[in-house]
Amino acid sequence: MRDTFFAYLVTLAYGDKETPTLAQVVFLSQNGAEDTRTVARALLQNAKQTAPEKPRFDWSTLKVHGRQSLSNDELMGLVDAAEQGQVGVGRVSTLKLS
């Protein structure tokens, strides 16, 4: 039996509090009703999680300022900051995958 995953486009804010950097990333979950609170909790607990059987962020989809990708070192810095609660979740939108 195949697990069902729901995809969400998540807007993250990090860096300077006055002028944060905005980024978007896809979050995969088995929950069809994620919101900013539950995704923020998952960001704290599962930022480095890549196994498909758990909620996870598909960091390969991360885009900063709409189109820029991060280097591996920059991405690892962002993931580490997320695990420490230094990255905020601004918006969570359901994605329809086809």
Is-contact 9 26, C-beta < 8 A? yes
Give the amino acid at 59. Answer: W
Assigned domain for 1 exists:
no
pTM of the model: 0.88
Residue 11 in domain: yes
Q: Which two tokens stand for residue 20?
A: 């944060």
- pLDDT score, position 2: 55
Range of the domain at 18: 6-95
pLDDT confidence of residue 1: 43
Q: Is residue 53 part of a domain?
A: yes
Structural domain total, the chain: 1
State residue 63 phi and psi, 5-degree precision: -130, 135
For residue 66, report the phi and psi dihedrals to the nearest 5 degrees. Answer: 90, -30
Sorting pLDDT into bands at 50, 70 and 90, what band is 78?
Answer: very high
pLDDT in tens, 17-69: 899 999 999 999 989 999 999 999 999 998 988 776 678 999 999 999 888 99
pLDDT for 69: 93
The structure tokens listed for 87 are 């990255």
- Cα 90 to its chain centre, rounded Å, is 11
